[in-house]
Structure formats: C-alpha cells, structure tokens
C-alpha cells in the first residue's frame, strides 16, 4: 500500500528537488488508514519526516486547535533539532500548525502556557511526558490527541526509560482512545518485541539497509599487545587517519579511555589539529561547545563515549574510529552510522583492537555486520520501581480504581504479564511503604474513599512526586572545580574515584592534568598541573559486556582453523600454539585449564559470557573453592575468560561448576555484593523510596538523603521479601550481575566441562594473567580482608602500631601498664 502526497506537499518536495521516498508514502498511507506503524530504517533514511508526514497532512487539510501529535525521543537535543527541521516545511507551505518542544529546560511560564493552549505538535522526552500526565488537567490536554511518534524506539525499549514511556502511553491511550502510534527504529535484532512495544498490531514497514558500511581494522605497528583495553599503542595510526578525513568521531568504551586516548593524541598532535573530547561527566556547557563546533565543522576529531551514540545528525562526520572492542554488532552499527548520514553512501569505519582477543572480537563484529546479524538482549519485563513511580503519577492526576489501573497497565507491552499480586504489592508500597510494621499511617501517600478509589493524600505529595520524576539515576558524584572562590566547574566525577585520592594526587579529567587540593562538602577542589603518574577516573559500570551473539561468533571462529588464515599473523600463530599446547574452547563445552605457576595454582575458564557475568561467577566460584578447601586467593575477569588463583590445586572441576552454585552461595553473596547494593540504590530512587529533590532544599540534599546501603542492610534484615528487594533481584538478573547469563551457561555446560591439566600457562591464558594486578581484583565480601591487608602494610612500613593482642576479657586487666603507655604515646 502506497500513499500519495497531498498536492501542496508534492509541490514543496519538488521545489527542493526531492521526491518522497517509498517508505515515507507507505507510512503516510498506513497511518492515514488508521493503523499503528513501526518504521525500521537505517540512519539517514528520512525516518523522522516519514513519522510526521501523516500529521502534517491531516493538520494541513483540517487546521484545528489542541494537541494533535506528540513526539517523544530519548534526547531533548533531538527534539529541539527535529522541531527546527519541522518548522521549515510548515513555514514554507504557510501551514497553520503550531509546533513546540517541552523538556526540563522549558521555562515555567512557557510550560504553563502550553498547558492552557496546547500546540498542535508537541515534541518532548519520556520524563516530561510523565510530568504532563501527572497534572490534574491531563485528561483535557490529551483528549484531542490523534497520534504519537516515538523516535529511536530501539534505544528506549527494554530500558527503564522505555518502561516509563510505555506506561505513559498506556495512560495516554486511555485518555485519547483514537490515538495511533508510529514508532521509528534503527534496524534491530528483536523486531517482534519492538513491534509489540509500539503497538500489538503495528504494521512493520522496513527499509532495506542502504549501502553496506566499509569497516576495516587498524593494527599497531610492531608488536600486537597481549592485554590491555585502552588501545593507546595505535595512537599514531589513529592520528594518521584523522589527518586524512574531514571530521572523525573516535569512539571509545569508557570515560577513562576517552581521557587517555585524548591525552595521547595531543602528545603527537604537533600540527595542533582541532581535536576535542566529549563524555557524559563533562560540564554540560563544555559538551554543548563541542557539539556546536562539530555542527560548524570547525573540529577535525572528537574523542567520545556513548554520549555521542545517539543524537542529531552531524552532517560533516565522514569517518568513525572505534578504539577497543566493539562489544556488539548492533552497537557497532549504531556508531558506524554516525558517519555519513546518507543512506546511499557507505559509512566508513575503522576498528582499533587493543589486544589479541579484541582482534578476534573485531573480526567477529565485522563478520556479524556483513551477515546483518544484529544482537542485543531482548527487552525484559518492566521494572516494578518504574511502576511505583507511575502509580503515584496517576494518582496525582486523578483518583483511580486499582482494578482499572491494573487493566490499563497490562496494556503496556513491558507489563503485559504483570501479576496482580506484584501490582498490589507495588501499590501498597506507594500507599504507605508496604511494610510489615504498620508505622506510617500518618504519612501515607494515598488514601481510599468509600468507593474504593485511591486519592493522593496532599498537594505536598504531588509536588514532591513531580520534582522526582524520571528513571535515570546517576552514581553519587562530586563536582570538580578549580580552587578558590568563583573557580570554574569542569564536570563531575564519581565519589568512588575521589575516595581513592589524597591531596597532592594528580588525575586526568576533562582533557587536563589536575592536582587534587582538597575536598569541601561535595566539591573536589583542584588546580592545574601536578607531577607523577596521573590517575584516571574510573567509572563504575562504565564498561558494557560483550553480547552473547558476538561471543558465539568468537567461539565459532576459534573452532574453525580454516578462518584463521585471514587473521593477522601474530594472532594466527597464537591460536596455532594454543591448539598445540592445550586445546581450543569448543562451541558448546567449557574449556577449563589448570596449571601451577610460582607457588600458586591457576584455573582459567573460557566462558565467553561477558565481563559482568564473569565477575559474578568469580565471586561465586571463589566462595565455592573456599568451601572445597582449595584456598582461593583471588580472581580476575575479562569479557572472554575468568581466572582464579589458589594455594591448592583445583580438582573435581565438574563439581566446581555444578548448577547448585546459584543456590546458597548466591544468597550469601547477595548480602555483601556491592553490585546488588548499587542496583538497590537505583531501584529505591526510581520507586521514590529515596527522594532526590525536596522543595527548597536543593542545597541540603545530601543531608536529608539516607545512604541506600544502610537502608538495604536494614530492609534485608527485617523484611527480606519487600517488593523493592524483589525488584532489585529481578534487575540484578540481567544487569550488573548478569546472573541470568550464568544460569544459562551452567545449564548448557553441565556434563561438558573439558578440563585440561597443564604444566604451565597456555598461550590463550596469557592475556588474562597479564590483567592480574592491572584490573581491580575485588573479591567482594572481603572488605575485612582488604582492611587487614592495608593495616598490615601500614604496620610494616611503620605507619601504624600493631593491633592490641587478642585475649580473654578476664586477662585484659593484666595488661602491663607499660604496654598501655606505649599505645598511648602514639597519640600524644
């Protein structure tokens, strides 16, 4: 079915020398025919215009008042850009259509005016939509709505922001029954899930991918590194490529890597090419300056993290360089698509592997791109924390009946399988905390009237809720500012990193070398300069794990020696040597090598399940080894393998990797895991247990906020079945701990563990052994052991006195006064 453009539009297209593309006309016809649509097209396919054509055409034919179309995108910058592009045809054709944006930056006056006189087309974000829906008059506002356009659906579905948007759209659908949806998505792995996310029966209109991207690989001159993830070896080659292109985005995987690559590039950048840095921790003003320079075409390169994955088209970008492992095919395609936003021309991209394993990963990703084998996890069920926030938002708009709200929520795709008992428990949490101890009658947020309708308790509850809408939770951060009054702010770094600094330390941030002066409240005061080896801010969770698909490809490549001929020579030799000395990891088995080295025994398991899963597995496995008397000493995890070392030889490997690992050990570990604590913090903030913003209390925010770790401990102890702890476990299964992936692997490899006992380290194990010491080897739950170690070091270096002798209390009185006075002198 193909539609035709209204005459006025055809003329306008003609005046610009354009013709409407087939998919734009298809979308137009389907949408005007009253269908929901999912348009899947690669970047540069004129997707956004396709999404708006039906609305523009309707509004051109029958101008009217009130809200007609709502456009939602994950980025407010994108909304603003789309609005600017949309105004052009509307002005040119002199259409009577009002277009406005609304985001957290919109002034209060303007927001008020928008509520009173809504524009025909409103462009906004999921958060701003949630705020709109929590307003008492949202019913009138949304009633005339005819269409919702959801941009970048692939970036929203499966995330908490996506959950929030789905809930909001279910609400909007109830307020405006005639509303139809158009989803715009990049090519995705899980088409059906994305379709369901947009609407159950959405018609899929797919544009075949334009020219295939040209992806190459850059290897460093000389030796191919065995380990490391930063890719700094290849800086000269990267700079050469930057010189050859007009505008390059150098994508990296972490903010720390961005800082390092940026520094290295500038060390060699003798002709001072304008090269900038862009990542999520930098001050917004600085990021905007970089983006403006990109638009103006005054930059030659920008080193960026995922902060530039999405966003508006930078027309002049003609080359993308990915430094470090690509991690996934879809992610690579997304990044590659940032170059050359025209469908019919090939995007050009270069991959820079940082070590041998990453060469394999790059080869696998290039093959995956060629085979159009997209990856990424399927969207998971919606979070109960987001549901809690939504329920309170609904109550703020109007009283509701739980049965009706439950039905409405089940119409949001992420919640289509929501159990009534989970809904009820979440509702109880919103009402009064949902605690076994009924302590909060006087503080309840909702009350029930005689007809069973739930009302919000007070204006205060509403105000507080609206101030705290949103599902993006930042890690605790501190501002970085130049010392002295009026010193400029450079951005924010994680408190975790600051805790490792002592005054006088040097660190790299915002592309500068900074000297840590002191900490004052939530500000890190710095000056320029400093000497010695600089530290690089590490960001917890900054690294994403390799996708399952890519992992299988790497595994398959290892098992197909005929493919090796195409690999760089050092890689080929490396693999051949592995085959000779040990064995190759099989497609479906688990290769485990054990060997002695020095006075330790090493165990290397080739799981290929990604870093998060390997870290969790490392915690569980070392606990288990402890119980089996193998005296584990530590472990290190990469995306590919897990290595442990122990005082005794690990034996009975089958038993070690049995599925019951996820039983008792998991429970015990959950008590201590910092990953779960971090997950709980996010859940608690989103659900509204921890309030981020209080009216008029911006300044004292940190004083009124209770540490989520303390809440976690108390709640686990007194009410382990609380709904937020359940939500935390559900999140942990796929997120930071990736327990789901471990469970799958343990099932798959049961009875198929291939144990190879070696007399020395195998070639394939070298990279992970080199990571020992470089990577933080945090065996969770052993804070005490770490403290013990630190105290021991302090004693040995004469910084501390030994701890008092442990003795029976009755003997304590016998402590010689002499010894006591010696202890006392320390502090005089």
Partner 1 sequence: MTSAPLHIAGERLMLDPAGALHWPAQRILVVSDLHFEKGTSAAARGSLLPPYDTRETLVLLSQLIRKYGPRHVVCLGDSFHDAKGSSRLQASDLARLTQLTIETDFIWVLGNHDPLPPVGLSGTAVDEHKVGPLVFRHEAQAGRVMGEISGHFHPKATVPVRGTQVCRPCFIADGYRMMLPAIGAYTGGLDVRDVAIGSHFPRGGRVFLLGRERLYSFPIAPSRPNAGAKREYPEPVLTRG
Stated as kind and residue range, the H or E segment containing 293 is: helix 284-296
Strands (E) in 289-367, as ranges, are 301-304, 319-323, 348-352
Closest contact distance (angstroms) between CB of 476 and partner 1 is: 6
Neighbour-count burial for 734-752, b at 16+ CB within 10 Å, e otherwise:
bbbbbbbbbbebbeebeee
CB-wise, 526 or 746, nearer to partner 1? 526
CB-wise, 32 or 791, nearer to partner 1? 791
* Residue carrying the six token digits 């770490």: 786
Closest contact distance (angstroms) between CB of 692 and partner 1 is: 10
3-class secondary structure for 772-798?
Answer: ECCECCCCCCCHHHHHHHHHHHHHHCC
Check: CB of residue 227 under 8 Å from CB of residue 300: no
Closest contact distance (angstroms) between CB of 523 and partner 1 is: 10
CB-wise, 696 or 751, nearer to partner 1? 696
Q: Kind of pairing, strands 512-520 and 506-509?
A: antiparallel
Closest contact distance (angstroms) between CB of 135 and partner 1 is: 19
d(CA 775, CA 229): 10
Closest contact distance (angstroms) between CB of 58 and partner 1 is: 43
Closest contact distance (angstroms) between CB of 81 and partner 1 is: 37
Closest contact distance (angstroms) between CB of 722 and partner 1 is: 7
- Go through the chain and tell me how many residues it has: 828
Check: CB of residue 329 under 8 Å from CB of residue 547: yes
- DSSP of 65-123: SS--EEEE-S-HHHHHHHHHHHHHHHHHTT----EEEESTTS-HHHHHHHHHS--SEEE
DSSP secondary-structure letter at 566?
Answer: T
Closest contact distance (angstroms) between CB of 778 and partner 1 is: 5
d(CA 321, CA 215): 9
CB-wise, 447 or 496, nearer to partner 1? 496
Closest contact distance (angstroms) between CB of 727 and partner 1 is: 14
Closest contact distance (angstroms) between CB of 461 and partner 1 is: 6
CB-wise, 538 or 544, nearer to partner 1? 538
Helix (H, G, I), strand (E, B) or coil at 51: helix
CB-wise, 522 or 631, nearer to partner 1? 522
Closest contact distance (angstroms) between CB of 294 and partner 1 is: 36
CB-wise, 188 or 478, nearer to partner 1? 478
Check: CB of residue 361 under 8 Å from CB of residue 238: no
CB-wise, 223 or 699, nearer to partner 1? 699
CB-wise, 563 or 772, nearer to partner 1? 772
Closest contact distance (angstroms) between CB of 277 and partner 1 is: 25
Helix (H, G, I), strand (E, B) or coil at 535: strand
**Bridge partners of residue 512, in order along the sequence:** 509
Check: CB of residue 452 under 8 Å from CB of residue 458: no
- Beta-carbon neighbour count of residue 683 at 10 Å? 30
Helix (H, G, I), strand (E, B) or coil at 754: strand
Stated as kind and residue range, the H or E segment containing 52 is: helix 47-61
CB-wise, 214 or 709, nearer to partner 1? 709
Residues ≥6 apart with Cβ < 8 Å to 402: 423, 424, 427, 452, 454
CB-wise, 16 or 812, nearer to partner 1? 812
Closest contact distance (angstroms) between CB of 790 and partner 1 is: 4
d(CA 360, CA 353): 9
Residues ≥6 apart with Cβ < 8 Å to 100: 83, 110, 114, 119, 121, 122, 123
CB-wise, 88 or 792, nearer to partner 1? 792
Structure tokens at 307: 């902060």
* Residue carrying the six token digits 């396919």: 45
CB-wise, 201 or 699, nearer to partner 1? 699
- H helical segments located in 719-816: 723-734, 739-749, 766-771, 783-796, 809-812
Helix (H, G, I), strand (E, B) or coil at 39: strand
CB-wise, 18 or 440, nearer to partner 1? 440
Closest contact distance (angstroms) between CB of 823 and partner 1 is: 6
- DSSP of 585-629: --SSSEEEEEEEETTEEEEEEE--S-HHHHHHHHHHHHHHHHHTT
């Amino acid at each position: 079915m193909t539609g035709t453009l209204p005459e006025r539009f055809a003329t306008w297209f003609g005046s610009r020398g354009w013709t409407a593309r087939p998919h734009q006309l298809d979308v137009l016809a389907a949408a005007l025919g009253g269908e929901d649509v999912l348009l899947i097209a690669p970047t540069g396919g004129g997707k956004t215009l396709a999404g708006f054509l039906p609305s523009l055409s309707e509004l051109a034919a029958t101008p009217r008042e009130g809200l007609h179309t709502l456009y939602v995108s994950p980025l407010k910058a994108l909304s603003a850009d789309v609005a600017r592009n949309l105004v052009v045809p509307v002005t040119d054709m002199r259409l009577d259509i009002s277009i406005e944006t609304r985001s957290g930056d919109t002034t209060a006056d303007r927001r008020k005016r928008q509520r009173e006189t809504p524009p025909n087309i409103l462009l906004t974000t999921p958060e701003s939509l949630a705020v709109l829906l929590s307003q008492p008059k949202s019913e009138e506002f949304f009633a005339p709505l005819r269409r919702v356009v959801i941009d970048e659906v692939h970036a929203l579905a499966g995330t908490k922001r996506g959950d929030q948007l789905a809930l909001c759209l279910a609400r909007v659908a109830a307020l405006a029954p005639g509303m139809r949806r158009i989803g715009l998505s990049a090519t995705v792995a899980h088409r059906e899930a994305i379709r369901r996310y947009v609407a159950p029966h959405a018609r899929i209109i797919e544009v075949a991918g334009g020219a295939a991207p040209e992806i190459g690989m850059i290897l460093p001159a000389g030796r191919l590194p065995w380990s490391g993830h930063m890719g700094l070896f290849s800086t000269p080659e990267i700079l050469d490529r930057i010189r050859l292109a007009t505008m390059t985005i150098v994508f990296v995987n972490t903010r720390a890597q961005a800082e390092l690559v940026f520094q290295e590039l500038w060390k060699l950048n003798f002709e001072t090419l304008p090269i900038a840095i862009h990542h999520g921790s930098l001050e917004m003003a600085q990021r905007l300056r970089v983006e403006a320079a990109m638009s103006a075409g005054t930059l030659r390169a920008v080193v960026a993290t995922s902060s530039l994955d999405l966003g508006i088209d930078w027309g002049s970008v003609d080359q993308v360089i990915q430094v470090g492992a690509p991690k996934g095919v879809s992610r690579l395609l997304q990044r590659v698509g940032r170059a050359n936003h025209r469908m019919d021309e090939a995007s050009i991209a270069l991959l820079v592997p940082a070590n041998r394993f990453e060469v394999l990963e790059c080869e696998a990703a290039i093959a995956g791109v060629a085979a159009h084998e997209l990856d990424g996890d399927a969207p998971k069920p919606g979070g109960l924390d987001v549901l809690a926030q939504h329920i309170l938002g609904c109550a703020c708009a109007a009283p509701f009946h739980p049965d009706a709200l439950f039905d409405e929520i089940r119409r949001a795709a992420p919640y289509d399988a929501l159990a009534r008992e989970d809904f009820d428990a979440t509702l109880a949490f919103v009402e009064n905390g949902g605690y076994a101890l009924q302590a909060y009658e006087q503080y309840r947020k909702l009350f029930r009237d005689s007809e069973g309708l739930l009302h919000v308790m007070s204006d205060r509850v509403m105000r507080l809720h609206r101030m705290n809408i949103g599902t993006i939770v930042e890690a605790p951060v501190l501002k970085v500012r130049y010392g002295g009054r009026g010193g400029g702010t450079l951005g924010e770094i994680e408190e975790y990193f600051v805790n490792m600094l002592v005054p006088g330390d040097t660190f790299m941030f915002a592309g500068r070398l900074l000297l840590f002066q002191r900490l004052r409240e939530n500000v890190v005061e710095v000056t320029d300069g400093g000497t010695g080896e600089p530290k690089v801010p590490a960001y917890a969770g900054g690294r994403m794990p390799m996708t399952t698909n890519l992992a299988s490809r790497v595994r398959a490549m290892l098992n197909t020696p005929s493919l090796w001929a195409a690999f760089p020579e050092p890689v080929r030799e490396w693999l051949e040597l592995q085959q000779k000395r040990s064995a190759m990891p099989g497609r479906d088995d688990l290769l485990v090598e054990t060997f002695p080295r020095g006075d330790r025994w090493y165990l290397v398991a080739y799981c290929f399940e990604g870093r998060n899963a390997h870290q969790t597995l490392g915690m569980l496995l070392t606990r288990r080894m402890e119980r089996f008397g193998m005296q584990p000493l530590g472990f290190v995890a990469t995306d590919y393998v897990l290595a442990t070392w122990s005082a005794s030889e690990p034996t009975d490997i089958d038993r070690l990797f049995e599925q019951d690992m996820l039983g008792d050990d998991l429970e015990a570990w959950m008590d201590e895991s910092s990953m779960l604590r971090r997950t709980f913090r996010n859940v608690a903030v989103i659900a509204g247990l921890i309030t981020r913003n209080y009216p008029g209390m911006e300044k004292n925010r940190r004083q009124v906020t209770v540490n989520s770790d303390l809440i976690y401990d108390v709640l686990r102890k007194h009410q382990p079945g609380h709904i937020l702890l359940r939500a935390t476990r559900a999140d942990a299964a796929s997120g930071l701990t990736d327990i789901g992936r471990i469970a799958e692997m343990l099932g798959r490899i049961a009875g198929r563990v291939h144990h190879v006992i070696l007399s020395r380290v195998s070639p394939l194990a070298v990279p992970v052994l080199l990571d020992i010491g470089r990577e933080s080897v945090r065996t969770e739950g052993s804070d005490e052991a770490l403290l013990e170690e630190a105290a021991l070091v302090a004693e040995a270096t004469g910084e501390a006195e030994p701890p008092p002798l442990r003795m029976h209390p009755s003997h304590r009185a016998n402590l010689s006064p002499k010894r006591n006075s010696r202890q006392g002198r320390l502090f005089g």
